[in-house]
Amino acid sequence: MTGKRHSNLTTGVAAGALAVMLSWLEPAAAQAPPPDEQADPVLHVCADPSGLPQSNDRGEGYENKIAEALARDFGKKVQYTFFPQRMGFVRNTLRARDETTLKFKCDLIIGVPTGYDLTATTRPYMRSTFALVFTEKHPEFKAFKVPEDLLALPPQKLQKLRIGIFGHSPAADWLLANNLIERAEMYAPQSGDPKETANTIVARDLGTGKIDVAVVWGPIAGQLTRDHASWTAVAFKPDTKFKFDYEMAMGLRQGEKAWKDALDQWIGSHHEQINQILIGYQIPLLELTAPKPGA
C-alpha cells in the first residue's frame, strides 16, 4: 500500500475502535444555535453505554472522567444520552431532539477525530497511536522495544504467528507491506452486538491464545494492559509510510461558536489535568501538533 492511502484515512477510534468511529457516516447537519450554557445546570453529553475504555453507563471510561472534570469546572452536573457508537450515533444523539421539549438531547461528544466530518470539532486534547499488544505466553516478546522488533523474529517463528487486526486500520497495510497479511486474524470494524467492542474481542482472543499478538488503537491497548497486568503494549512511532497516530477532539454541532470557544478555552487551560486522566488509563500519548496560526 502507498503512503497516499494512509494520508487519506480519516482516523476511525477507534482503532478497531478508531475504525469504528469512521462508520458513523451520515449526512451533514444543519447549523443550530448553541446550548444556553448559563441557564442550563446540566452538561448534556452524548456517549456509548458499553464503550470502554472511552465510556460506559457506569462512568468508568476516560471520556466519562473528562466530562466530569469539564462539568465540575462549569458548575454543572453531567447527564448522558446513550447510544452505541456506530452507524447512527451522531443522528441519534447530537442531532436528535427530545420529542416533548424539542431541545437537543445532548450537546457534546467527548471524543471524535480532529476535523471529523459529522460534527464541528474543538482543538485536540489527545494524540495517541496504535500499539502492538502481547501476553507473557511468548517470552521472546519481552525484549520488544518497538513494534518493528516483531519483524526481526526468525522466519519460522514469524510465519506461525496469528496477528489480530481490525479492518480499515493501518495495521492491515503494515502487515501487507511486511508480507504478513496471511498471518492476520481480521476482525470487522463493528460486530452485530453493540456490547462487543475491540477491547472485548482482543481480550478474549489474546487471552485464549487464538491470536498471539494484536495491533490496536492506543486507548484499547491501554485498557488491555490495565485489565491484564502481565500483558504488554509497545506503541508505534509516527511514520511517513503508515498513519498510526491521530488526534482526538470534542464534537459539537456546527455553528455553535460560543460553545466551541468555551470548550477550546477549557481544553487549552487543562492539558495537564486531561493528560493525568489519560495516563491513568495507560494510553500511549504523543505530543499534540502545534496549532496553526490563527486557529
Confidence at residue 179, expressed as pLDDT on a 0 to 100 scale:
95
Confidence at residue 191, expressed as pLDDT on a 0 to 100 scale:
73
Confidence at residue 268, expressed as pLDDT on a 0 to 100 scale:
97
Specify the CATH class of 11-127+246-280 in words: alpha beta
Query: Which residues, at least 6 apart from 206, have a Cβ–Cβ distance to it below 8 Å?
Result: 133, 134, 135, 164, 212, 213, 214, 224, 231
Query: Across all residues in the chain, what is the average pLDDT?
Result: 88
CA pair distance 261, 257, nearest whole angstrom: 6
* Residue-wise pLDDT tens digits, 77-102: 999 999 999 889 999 999 999 999 99
Query: Which residues, at least 6 apart from 87, have a Cβ–Cβ distance to it below 8 Å?
Result: 23, 24, 25, 26, 190
In three-state secondary structure terms, 79 is: strand
Confidence at residue 22, expressed as pLDDT on a 0 to 100 scale:
39
Specify the CATH class of 129-235 in words: alpha beta
With the C-alpha atoms ordered 55, 118, 126, 247, is the resulting torsion angle positive or negative?
A: positive
Confidence at residue 35, expressed as pLDDT on a 0 to 100 scale:
59
Confidence at residue 25, expressed as pLDDT on a 0 to 100 scale:
36
The whole-model pTM stands at: 0.86
Q: What are the domain boundaries of the chain? A: 11-127+246-280, 129-235
Which parts of the chain have pLDDT scores under 50?
A: 1-33
